[in-house]
């Protein structure tokens, strides 16, 4: 019997690092066998600013995941985010050259290559090229054109690009922690794999991933991504607001946000008090919980309004039949769903990773959405090499292989 396959998702965020261990049995069934997390202080708004701190956070999170799973981790699938991420829609067209004008894999590859032949700055790299639809002789809406008969083949694709140096710094942190990066994936794309249903993607859905440093946006229409965006504000700013307004340290403000925070005033009862710990010898004090909500709600409303403004500018708001799905650690703040529903006037839900077996109670939490999605991506993009017992043949079509080449040059 072949050895079990491990697939590890590593979400390196601004405020925390999460590691999720997936394992496939001899029948190829995937289950989650371990999770680990650690505080992160080496990133700002999704971008590495301190290699050593980030490396230590990666090490701690993976150590915790190894301890829970009882497995040794070597390679990971990691996510990338930040304000440097950009999404572009592009189109390519080719003549069908297959025998009898039958579209084959070579035609599909050529048309996608034509669609992604866009000019991007030297400091940027293509992360993903995702087909939205194919058009065969003016017949649109084709998801898979293989074996169809046609003369002209067009492809519409969504191209996601990111900063070369941001990706290299991320890879360097993981490598210096002693682990191999199998691939790098856009975090919002990974989250969408874990929390969105196929029906929602077909109807049109807005995914909002509320992180610590940034809020990532992904819009699906007709089953494919059409818009990728980033709002450079996240839950960290909410904590900062509490710290400043209540004159309390950031750590106390974070605890206050988690224990008593709410971002929708109608959910807070009048007369409900919260105790704030004293600082520097000052005694602790009780303040109304409504005052805390009064600080948090405007900032959360501002973040969600910035997302809505992007949707209005791109004219996507009226196409979101599947509504709004909010995930990430920020989605744990009480009132988030209600506030988003009031702002977008669309069906809204909190997105948790869908159960895929194993330690369901441990990972069905919005903060693990990206890491679980990375595990699902890894499982889909690795195949067994039947020629060697227990080995895994990696897909090298993603950005990870190019980054490994860069690492050979630099380190």
Q: Which two tokens stand for residue 82?
A: 């930040």
Contact call for residues 77 and 182 (beta carbons, < 8 A): yes
The span from the CA of 19 to the CA of 33, in Å, is 11
pLDDT tens digits, 215-251? 999 999 999 999 999 998 998 999 999 999 988 888 8
Q: Is residue 91 part of a domain?
A: yes
User: Binning pLDDT at 50, 70 and 90, where does residue 389 land?
Assistant: very low
Averaged pLDDT, 260-282: 84
Query: Is residue 6 a part of any domain in this protein?
Result: no
pLDDT reading at 281 higher than 80 = no
Instruction: Look at residue 125 and tell me if it is in a domain.
Output: yes
The pLDDT of residue 397 is above 80: no
Per-residue pLDDT at 96 exceeds 50: yes
Chain centroid to Cα 392, Å, comes to: 25
Q: Does residue 128 belong to any structural domain of this protein?
A: yes
Query: pLDDT of 144-155, one tens digit each?
Result: 999 899 999 999
In a domain, 67, yes or no: no
* The predicted structure's pLDDT at residue 7: 92
Is the Cα dihedral 291, 296, 302, 305 positive or negative?
Answer: negative
How confident is the model at residue 405, as a pLDDT?
A: 60
Q: What is the pLDDT of residue 270?
A: 85
- Model confidence at 201, pLDDT cuts 50, 70, 90, reads very high
Is residue 372 domain-resident? Answer: no
DSSP code of 160? E
Number of domains in the chain: 1
Query: What is the rounded (10 degree) CA torsion for 103, 106, 112, 116?
Result: -150
Give how far Cα 236 sits from Cα of 44, 49, 212, 309, Å.
Answer: 10, 16, 5, 21
**What is the Cα 222 distance to its own chain's centre?**
20
pTM over 0.85: yes
Backbone φ, ψ for residue 248 (5° rounding) = -135, 150
* 291-337 pLDDT tens trace: 999 999 999 999 999 999 999 999 999 999 999 999 999 999 999 99
Of 214, 251, 257, 217, give the one whose Cα is nearest residue 238: 257
Over residues 185-197, the mean pLDDT reads: 94
Where in the sequence is the domain holding 151, given as residue range(s)? Answer: 86-163
Measured over the CA atoms of residue 327, residue 352, residue 78 and residue 199, the dihedral's sign is negative
Do the domain assignments include residue 116?
yes
In-domain check, residue 92: yes
Domain with 106 in it: what CATH number? 3.30.1490.110
Question: Can you give the pLDDT at residue 395?
Answer: 40
At which residue do the structure tokens 């005694």 appear? 283
**Residue 283, Cα to own-chain centre: how many angstroms?**
42
Q: How confident is the model over 345-361, as pLDDT tens digits?
A: 999 999 999 988 888 77
pLDDT at position 196, please? 95
């Amino acid at each position: 019997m072949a050895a079990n396959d491990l697939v590890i998702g590593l979400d390196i965020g601004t405020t925390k690092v999460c590691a999720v261990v997936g394992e496939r049995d001899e029948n190829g069934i995937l289950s989650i066998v371990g999770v680990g997390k650690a505080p992160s202080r080496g990133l700002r708004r999704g971008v590495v600013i301190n290699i050593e701190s980030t490396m230590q956070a990666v090490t701690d999170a993976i150590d915790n995941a190894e301890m829970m799973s009882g497995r040794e981790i070597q390679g990971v699938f990691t996510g990338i985010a930040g304000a440097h991420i950009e999404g572009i829609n592009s189109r390519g067209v080719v003549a069908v050259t297959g025998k009898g004008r039958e579209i084959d894999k070579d035609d599909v590859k050529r048309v996608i290559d034509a669609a992604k032949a866009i000019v991007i700055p030297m400091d940027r790299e293509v992360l993903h090229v995702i087909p939205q639809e194919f058009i065969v002789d003016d017949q649109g809406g084709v998801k898979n054109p293989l074996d169809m008969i046609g003369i002209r083949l067009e492809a519409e694709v969504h191209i996601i690009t990111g900063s070369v140096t941001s990706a290299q710094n991320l890879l360097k942190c993981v490598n210096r922690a002693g682990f191999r990066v199998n691939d790098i994936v856009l975090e919002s794309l990974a989250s969408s794999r874990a929390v969105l249903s196929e029906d929602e993607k077909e109807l049109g859905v807005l995914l909002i991933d509320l992180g610590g440093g940034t809020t990532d946006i992904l819009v699906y229409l007709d089953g494919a991504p059409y818009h990728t965006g980033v709002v450079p504000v996240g839950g960290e700013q909410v904590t900062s607001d509490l710290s400043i307004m209540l004159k309390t340290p950031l750590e106390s403000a974070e605890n206050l946000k988690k224990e008593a925070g709410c971002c929708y005033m109608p959910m807070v009862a009048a007369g409900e008090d919260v105790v704030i710990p004293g600082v520097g010898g000052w005694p602790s004090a009780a303040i109304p919980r409504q005052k805390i909500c009064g600080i948090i709600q405007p900032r959360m409303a501002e973040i969600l309004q910035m997302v809505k403004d992007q949707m209005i500018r791109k004219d996507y708001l009226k196409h979101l039949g599947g509504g709004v799905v909010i995930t990430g650690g920020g989605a744990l703040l009480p009132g988030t769903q209600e506030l988003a529903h009031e702002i977008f006037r669309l069906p809204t839900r909190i997105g948790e990773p869908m159960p895929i077996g194993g330690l369901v109670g441990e990972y069905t939490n919005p903060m693990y959405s990206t890491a679980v999605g990375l595990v699902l991506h890894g499982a889909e993009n690795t195949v067994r090499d039947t020629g060697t017992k227990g080995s895994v043949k990696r897909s090298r079509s993603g950005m990870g292989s190019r980054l490994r080449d860069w690492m050979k040059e630099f380190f």
